Structure 1
Amino acid sequence: MEAALDAPVVTHEPKATSRQTVVLSVPTIVCGNCLRSVENALRTLRGVEAARANLTTKRVSVVVDPELSSTVDLTTALERAGYPSALLADDAETEQKARVSELVPRVGVAGFAAANIMLLSVSVWSGQASDMDSSVRELFHWLSALIALPAVGYAGQPFFRSAIAALKARRLNMDVPISLGVLLATGMSLFQTMRNSDQIYFDAAVTLLFFLLIGRALDERMRTKARGAAENLLGLRAKDATIVESDQTTKVISAAKLKPGMIIAVAAGERVAGDGEIISGQSEIDESLISGETRPRAVSAGDSVYAGTVNCGGALRVRITAAEENTLLSEIGRMMLAAEQSRGRYVRLADRASRLYAPAVHVLGLTTFVVWMLIGAPWEQALTYAIAVLIITCPCALALAVPAVQVAAMSRLFSKGVIVKAPDGLERLAEIDCVIFDKTGTLTTGELRLWTSGSIDTVALARAGSIAGASRHPYAQALVKAAREQGIRAPAVDDVQEVAGSGLITTSAGVEEKVGSAAWVGAGAGQASIWYGAAGKPPVGFDFVDEPRKDANACVSELQRSGYMVSVLSGDRRDAVEQTAVACGIEGWAAEVRPDQKLQTIEALKAQGYKTLMVGDGLNDAPALAAGHASLSPASAIDIAQNAADAVFQGELLQPVIETLAIAKAARSLALQNFAIAIVYNSVFVPLAMLGYVTPLIAALAMSGSSIMVTANALRLRSMKLHLPMIGTSQ
């Protein structure tokens, strides 16, 4: 993009559309089969364009026309399907903690009951080797039953409620076989106690519940750590705002009540409650939340500020231009949420496998029972083996394998200033082997800076800046900015006339002054970018350059060292493109390239087998961005370029390009590792359970452990040290 932009932030405007994205919390999602049921229940409603459920965050994101289906309609549909839901609360962390708090006392009851029943069981086992009277053994069995029955009834409620809701809706989830296994073990033990038999399994049933509850509580804590970047981001919004009334008095109101046009006071250390324009005061704003830039930005009257940013200095007064859901922070949050809820190829594969796997659980359990009965095993033994199979075959690890990695990757990328929008963007970014950069605004800052080799004519710059303020031409605006950066006061000049293709002209105190091209001011064949001329004085030229980003050379060098082919495609002048390419260490470059020629180049590389990453920001880059195997766009890009790109990166550096590729490759590696964990778990434990080598207790430990293992493996992505690996290798 040729025009300079002062602030590297995402530009956005409210879209004239009736669609909206509603995020619902669905705490009873427990497996891959639940995902399908939730999405299908919503997609049948009028006005619902898309529904994406996420097992890791237990959320469903719905794109809906509110005129056709309201939030009440959505929650009612889910209620009918057996999934109570609610609009996502602002304090989602409290909601997650409430679920953990519900599980903790149940864990305590199950643990207490299991310990006491185990003591009684050990006594019975010891007595069988000695002279324990049968009446004492029967008493111990009934004591075990008295402890076990209320403990199972209380501690098992989370599983039983979920299973009943699923069966009422004529569907299956992972809690159905768990509940079936626990109830069968308890019921069989009670029946055997009444018969005064020795085959009592109260200890196994209660201990099974104990370990299942521990696994679920740990899993909930893991999910809290794996909460998406979108949820964390929106949690940083200011809760309250101090508005300034017309009589200059102040009043604190909820930030949700802010409206455009209101004036708010922002004290030092406070978060800005909405997007707006500073009308008075000077300060520094920490915009790391928005731009990824850790250095605070100096602001004063006329500058824009954004919701969620922190005022680091003096008091400010800000006129609100956008509040709540219309702020830049909310827009970024919606983009992040869409990316976290979206489904790439690996996620779709895992969902499909877990959906097919759920009905197979009951078939395998029934088969185990029937086969063991046919070969002459006692029904108690056959039922015990079937119970172990029901528990161990729950597909939770498979359903969590990829979503957990996806959420962790999105969170880390956001911390690096990158927002991935495309559903399978991470997967395609991991396959890249060729990177093509646009020049202006991508390899370079896109900002014209005054270049000097000696002293500056401050008088000429002041007059030129004053006159240039009347024009929106990039070089005119660059003059105004250069004067401001030099600390030169350049008051606006009246009666300035702009002549298209030439420049500006005005008359001050009878002296004609011009700003524009060399020919316009009479500088002959001068080579400066823009000139200032006054009657009776020699013209003064000002040269502006579009400098490469500070780390452009280092970024390109790292890509080349890792085996990536790097080149530049630009519509800019040949000499400017060559200068930038040489400065960045890029040998392959092409200048004065039209949009259709960029597209042809991308297609030619694709035909040669390259998987190309296109990095660009302008209107002329949009076709190439759409055609590339994957695409990135800086946050300063125009809307059409951002819409065409798979991801948008913030800040003034190119390092996010390296971070994105490194994290994408690491995410692919971890996703494959999680698939391997889930496959090995099922390949080993399911046959062992069917052969009778796994007790219900071991089955509970294995199932909970596999779920925790894949989530913990995914969470490693948040803190692991990454580097850009060579093409064809992984982290």
Structure 2
Amino acid sequence: MSCCGTGAELEMLAATDPREILLASRPIAGNLRQTDLSVPDVHCGACIHTVEKAIGTLPGVSSARVNLSTRRVTIKWRADIDMPPPFIETLRNVGYEAHLFEVDSDAKDATLSELIRALAVSGFAAGNIMLLSVSVWSGAEPATRDLFHGISALIALPTLLYSGRVFFRSAWQALSHGRTNMDVPISLGVLLAFGMSLYETAIHGPHAYFDASVTLLFFLLIGRTLDHMMRERARVAVKGLARLAARGALVQQADGSQTYLPVAEIKPGMTILLAAGERVPVDSTVAHGLSEIDVSLITGESVPQPAQAGAVLRAGTLNLTGPLTITATAVAGDSFLAEMLRMMEAAEQGRSVYRRIADRAAGLYAPVVHLTAAVTLIGWMFVEGDWHHAITIAVAVLIITCPCALGLAVPMVQVVAARKLFEHGVMIKDGGALERLAEVDTIVFDKTGTLTQGNPRLVNADKFDQATLTLAGTIAAHSRHPFSRALASVALAAQPPIVFDAIAEIPGCGMEARVGGSVLRLGRPEWALDCVAGADIETSSVVLSRDGNRLADFRFEDSLRRGAVESVAELKRDGFAIEVVSGDREAPVRALAGSLGVAAFAGVLPGGKAEHIADLAKAGKKVLMVGDGLNDTPALMAAHASMAPASAADVGRNAADLVFLRDNLEAVPLAIAVAREAQKLVRQNLALAVGYNFIAVPIAILGYVTPLVAAIAMSGSSIVVVANALRLRGRRASVAKPDTNKTNSIAMRMEPAE
């Protein structure tokens, strides 16, 4: 006996090895891990239900979601179990082969190639059989008629075996595992039409329907091919994004040698030599060199940005002018580009209320269709006693009732909407977020980093000695708050460096450090100072204190984010209630809100923001929260829908439903406009799909539809639904164009106006 298996056996062993699954998974929030599997045979609502149910019942699995466009199932499972559940074996047991999902944007579309070949063969055969049928219809002699029927059978049989396998393979796979899918009634209809024709030919009957069975297959393949092509066209944004990922990079080893490694093998801390013209493989920082970087992927700006030592580079951005030595800060799976890809995928597979209704309806159709066809057959046999006519009508019912249009009604709109928003720099993290976003009537903005640029400048640095600035800057370096970054940027490194016994960030308050028995606080005056009586806290933006005693107060200025004035004005014109809810002090918050003409709530702590949104919800309001900081996270999670800029803290970005990449607040009204338009198209598609069945099914039952016409009607309904979804691409959302000069000239001082 050989000690080695075949290549196929080894590949299957590797695919089913739980250690491979564990290595390919990644940790996510909530003590969970996520695994993505490719399931190529998934193609309808019944398939989605079967796969999600099979995986969802495994011990330790939190959720399973199928993306029909990418044939991908995303599984979330508990991280505290030793080995992942048997995902691949479970799917194989219900009739679906699966393997680890890998994005390969350059791979040839094998499914499209197979569909086009099958379409070409069936079209050629249908044309030739139709020519023979014309001769029969024109009054051929019985001997000639039988000859032509026989030739038609010889053409039709290999055509059905080759072109029909697209449907037969899927139907057999379903039936062999005790379930049904959309291809079962289609296959039954095609085979019954061919079987009837073969029987008529064998008994020298006057009528045979080889032309109908092959032409039926031809039109079904037209619908399936167009459906596939439209899906791929709608997903071109995801594929284009995937192409921006580098395949590998030149890594410098500790001994000075250089090795080209695949991007998946690059680890944080590795030194990468990035030549001009190459894309950044993973999130990195510049160690040496000077160049310019094309960051249009992230910001939408075409003007290159300078890169020098210390600059942060995002995966997928392009190095333009000079070589750089960079240090990796994340693995490829955790890079900013990978996060954007995951958000695009999540947008497609999200489960909105409409999609859940459509999926359930599509999943129930198989028994209903078969029962309807059986009752139709029995009814016509009872009325006429003509089994030939009864079977023909039953075949037409089997085909015309296929709910492909219903299954496509919602996901196609979600895919197109996600692409449209991506083109405008907005990423959706959840497909259901579009539906929630379309329902909002109240918008709550954070101030610093959301309505403003979030890049404040320290304006009174000249009032402090370098020791005070260094102390404040060293504390501030442990925080990502905009004020902290501004302080850290003006502080010089201490020699020797200041070492704290402990340091922590208190959300909504500031930074607290302990050294030598003293407590240093950098943050809100009322928190940092033991006694604020008599203290001028209105004119202090940030206070540095030791043991409750003031050491210094720092003041900052910031400018409005580009497009803020125009976007807020447009939202007000559209009837939205607008509020600014900020943890900053009363004077600067009211000054900003007054310039925008909206309501303001100042001095609100993180818990208070969430409570305020909860109060609005109790009053019947559906709130969109737009924020960026750590202190905005509870409010983002509490809101009906939420948005955050790409510059937001990681926890805030993860809590938001949508992330906008560009430094322009026009993303907010644009996202709402697209969401509302998508909701209209979803309702139209559902109405089209349901209306088609209400009209078509009774006509077919009454015998007014042939199997060929049924195939054309069924394929046509799917194409109409997909084409209606694609209309969203051509519609122009109403978004105010920002006046750059105007918005940049507005500087909001973080202190009260005199």
Indicate the TM-score class for this superposition, using the shorter chain for normalisation.
0.7 to 0.9
Please state how far the C-alpha of 1:464 moved relative to its aligned partner. Answer: 9.1
With normalisation by structure 1, the TM-score equals: 0.84
The 10-residue stretch of structure 1 (261-270 or 709-718) with the greater mean CA deviation from structure 2 = 709-718
Query: Is the aligned partner of 1:562 residue 2:562?
Result: no
The letter for the 2-side match of 1:282 is L
Question: Which range moved further: 350-359 or 631-640?
Answer: 631-640
CA-to-aligned-CA distance 1:530-585 (integer Å, 9 cap, x gap): 999xxxxxxx9985312221221111101011111111112211111012112333
- The answer to whether residue 192 in structure 2 is matched with residue 184 in structure 1 is yes
What are structure 2's unaligned runs of at least 5 residues?
Answer: 1-25, 504-509, 513-524, 530-534, 545-551, 737-754
Instruction: Return the letter of the residue paired with 1:51.
Output: A
Distance in structure 1 (CA, Å) of the matches to 2:634 and 2:54: 37
Counterpart of 1:233 in structure 2 is: 241
Q: 2:38 aligns with which of 21, 25, 35?
A: 25
The aligned runs of 1:644-659 (5 Å cut-off) are 644-659=655-670
Matched residues, percent identical? 48
8 A contact 2:28–2:34 mirrored in 1 = no
Q: Which residue pairs with 1:507 in the alignment?
A: none
Structure 2 residue 691 is matched with structure 1 residue 687: no
Map 1:111-190 → 2, pairs under 5 A:
111-126=123-138, 128=139, 132-190=140-198
Please list every run of 5 or more consecutive structure 1 residues that lacks an aligned counterpart in the other structure.
1-12, 484-489, 504-516, 533-539, 726-731
What's the offset of the Cα at 1:626? 2.8
Aligned partner of 2:92 in structure 1 is 79
Q: Deviations over 1:461-492 (max 9, x none)?
A: 999978875552766752664x6xxxxxx964
**SS of 1:632's equivalent?**
strand
- What is the CA distance between 1:346 and its match in structure 2? 0.7
In the aligned structure 2, how far is the partner of 1:219 from the partner of 1:235?
24
Structure-1 residue corresponding to 2:226: 218
Paired residues of 1:199 and 1:380 also in contact (CA < 8 A)? no
When residues 470 and 145 of structure 1 are mapped into structure 2, their CA distance, relative to the original with a 3 A threshold, is closer
Q: Which has the higher contact order (CA 8 A, sep 6+)?
A: 1
Whole-angstrom distance in 2 between the partners of 1:680 and 1:410: 27
Counterparts of residues 213-362 of structure 1 (less than 5 Å): 213-227=221-235, 232-246=240-254, 248-362=256-370
2:77 — aligned with what?
64
Of 707, 716, 728, the residue aligned with 1:717 is 728
For the residues of structure 1 that align with 2:171 and 2:337, how far apart are their CA atoms? 39
1:9 corresponding residue in structure 2? none
Q: Which residue of 2 aligns with 1:199?
A: 207
Residues 258 and 56 (structure 1), Cα distance of their counterparts in 2 relative to 1, 3 Å cut: closer
Aligned residues: 674
What is the deviation of 1:66? 7.6
Instruction: Check 1:530–1:714 CA distance in 2 against 1; reply closer, same or farther (3 A cut).
Output: closer
Q: Give CA deviations for 1:312-336 in whole Å, capped at 9, x if unaligned.
A: 2211111112222232322333343
Distance 1:626 1:330 in 2: 23
Residue of structure 2 aligned with 1:675, choices 677, 686, 696: 686
What amino acid maps onto 1:115 in structure 2?
G
**When the two structures are superposed, what TM-score results if normalisation uses the length of structure 2?**
0.82
1:582 to 582, 590, 594: 594
* 1:495-540, Cα deviation, whole Å (9 max, x unpaired): 688999999xxxxxxxxxxxxx9x9xxxx999697999xxxxxxx9
Q: Any idea what SS the aligned residue of 2:624 has?
A: strand
Match in the other structure for 1:546: 558
- The Cα shift of 1:72 comes to 9.4
- Which of 55, 68, 73 pairs up with 2:68? 55
2:584 to 566, 569, 572: 572
Q: Corresponding residue for 2:548?
A: none
Cα gap change, 1:345 to 1:271, in 2 (>3 Å): same
Q: Name the CA distance, whole Å, in 2 between partners of 1:390 and 1:682.
A: 12
2:245–2:281 Cα contact (<8 Å) kept = yes
State whether residues 228 and 408 of structure 1, in contact with CA within 8 Å, keep that contact through their aligned partners in structure 2: no
Aligned to 2:636: 625
Give the alignment's Cα RMSD to 1 decimal. 3.5
Q: Which amino acid aligns with 1:594?
A: L
Q: Residue 467 of structure 1 contacts residue 492 of structure 1 at CA under 8 Å; is this kept in 2?
A: no
| Corresponding residue SS for 2:364 | helix
Shift of 1:600: 4.1
2:715 is paired with a residue whose SS is: helix
**Residue 389 (1) aligns with residue 419 (2):** no
User: Matched residues in 2 for 1:318 and 1:228: separation?
Assistant: 31
Instruction: Please give the alpha-carbon distance, in whole angstroms, between the structure 2 residues aligned to 1:50 and 1:429.
Output: 24
Greater mean alpha carbon deviation, residues 350-359 or residues 75-84:
75-84
Q: What secondary structure is seen at the aligned counterpart in 1 of 2:107?
A: helix
Give the aligned partner of residue 107 of structure 1. Answer: 119
Q: Deviations over 1:389-425 (max 9, x none)?
A: 1111111110111011112222222333333334521
Q: Which stretch shifts more, 254-263 or 352-361? A: 254-263
- Partner Cα separation in structure 2 for residue 119 and residue 259 of structure 1: 65
Q: CA contact under 8 A between 2:354 and 2:410: conserved in structure 1? A: yes
Q: Does 1:593 align with 2:601?
A: no
In terms of mean alpha carbon deviation, does 459-468 or 169-178 score higher?
459-468
What SS does the aligned partner of 1:332 have?
helix
* 1:138–1:196 Cα contact (<8 Å) kept: yes
The one-letter code matched in structure 2 to 1:318 is I
Find the residue that maps to 1:20 and give its secondary structure.
Answer: strand
Counterpart for residue 377 of structure 2:
369
CA distance change for structure 1 residues 139 and 662 in 2, over 3 Å: closer, same or farther? same
Is 2:428–2:658's contact at 8 Å kept on the other side of the alignment? yes
- The Cα shift of 1:681 comes to 1.5
